[in-house]
């Protein structure tokens, strides 16, 4: 098997600055070392680069593309309604739950009740000991109107390939906020990246 840094995906678009993501690299290392089939629940859109990376492992990718459906959670606070909408967006529960959840630049786009309902539904689709890898805008008080599209450059770096967008206020969820909203998720490690995003590796 290749070392994580030797996973090749494809060249990133001009102008997009790849970001070292050490927790992502450690996750890929673990998957590589496991040498077992892994199930990845990707909350982002289907992307060639993600397919290319996990295609080098024995993987099944479950693609949710949450960004396309974020508006379904706007202006709703009732837990039952939020839960029902989350269930509709997510793949059916299988006996073989996901080993890994990818959640890149999405959590800040859900209000607290929606975050809680959605991530609870996600947790129910994972197996014990699963990991959730998240990127969350944290340093800046502003964030883009729509979530960025992050893709792997290789087994160690991620890059945002979305075009420049207008901005809006960011809720800047802290680790405490996330702990309060995301029951069952334990922060295993967290890192502040040089673009101001916080990288989280959660354990379920």
Partner 1 sequence: MFDIGKKSADKGQQDTGAQAKAPQPSAAADPAARRSPATPREAAVIGPSIHIDGDLRGEEDLIIEGEVNGTVQLRNNTLTIGAQGKVSADVFAHSVYVDGYMEGDLFGSERVCIRKSAQVKGNITSPRISLEDGARFKGTIEMDPQAVEAALGRRRGAAPAAPAPQEQKAAQPSQGNGKPDAASGIKR
Nearest-approach distance from CB 194 to partner 1, in angstroms: 26
The CA distance from 22 to 34, in Å, is 18
Which parts of this chain interact with partner 1 (CB under 8 A)? 30-31, 33-34, 36-38, 45-48, 51, 54-55, 58-65, 68, 91-97, 99-100, 124, 126-131
DSSP element (H, E) containing 40:
strand 38-42
79 token code pair = 């837990």
Nearest-approach distance from CB 170 to partner 1, in angstroms: 26
Give every strand in the sheet of 157-160, ordered side by side. Answer: 19-20, 157-160, 150-152
Other C-beta atoms lying within 10 Å of the C-beta of residue 50? 22
Closest Cα partner for 152 from 43, 1, 11? 11
Taking a C-beta distance cutoff of 8 angstroms, is the pair 125, 93 a contact? Answer: yes
Report helix, strand and coil shares of the chain as percent, to nearest 5. Answer: 30, 30, 40
The CA distance from 93 to 122, in Å, is 9
What is the 3-state secondary structure of 114-172?
Answer: HHHHHHHHHHCCEEEEEEEEEEEECCCCEEECCCCCEEECECCEEEECCCCCCEEECCC
């Amino acid at each position: 098997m290749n070392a994580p840094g030797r996973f090749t995906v494809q060249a990133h678009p001009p102008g997009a600055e790849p970001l070292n993501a050490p927790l992502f690299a450690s996750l890929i290392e673990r998957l590589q070392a496991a040498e077992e089939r892994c199930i990845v629940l990707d909350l982002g859109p289907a992307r060639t680069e993600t397919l290319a990376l996990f295609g080098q492992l024995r993987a099944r990718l479950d693609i949710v593309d949450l960004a396309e459906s974020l508006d379904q959670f706007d202006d709703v606070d009732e837990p039952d309604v939020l839960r029902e909408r989350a269930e509709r967006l997510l793949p059916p529960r299988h006996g073989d739950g996901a080993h890994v959840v990818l959640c890149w630049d999405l959590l800040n786009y859900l209000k607290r009740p929606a975050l809680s309902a959605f991530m609870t539904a996600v947790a129910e689709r994972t197996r014990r000991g699963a990991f959730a890898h998240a990127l969350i805008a944290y340093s800046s008080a502003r964030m883009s109107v729509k979530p960025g599209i992050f893709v792997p450059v290789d087994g160690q770096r991620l890059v945002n390939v979305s075009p420049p967008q207008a901005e809006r206020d960011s809720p800047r969820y802290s680790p405490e906020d996330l702990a309060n909203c995301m029951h069952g998720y334990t922060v295993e490690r967290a890192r502040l990246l040089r673009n101001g995003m916080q990288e989280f590796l959660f354990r379920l």
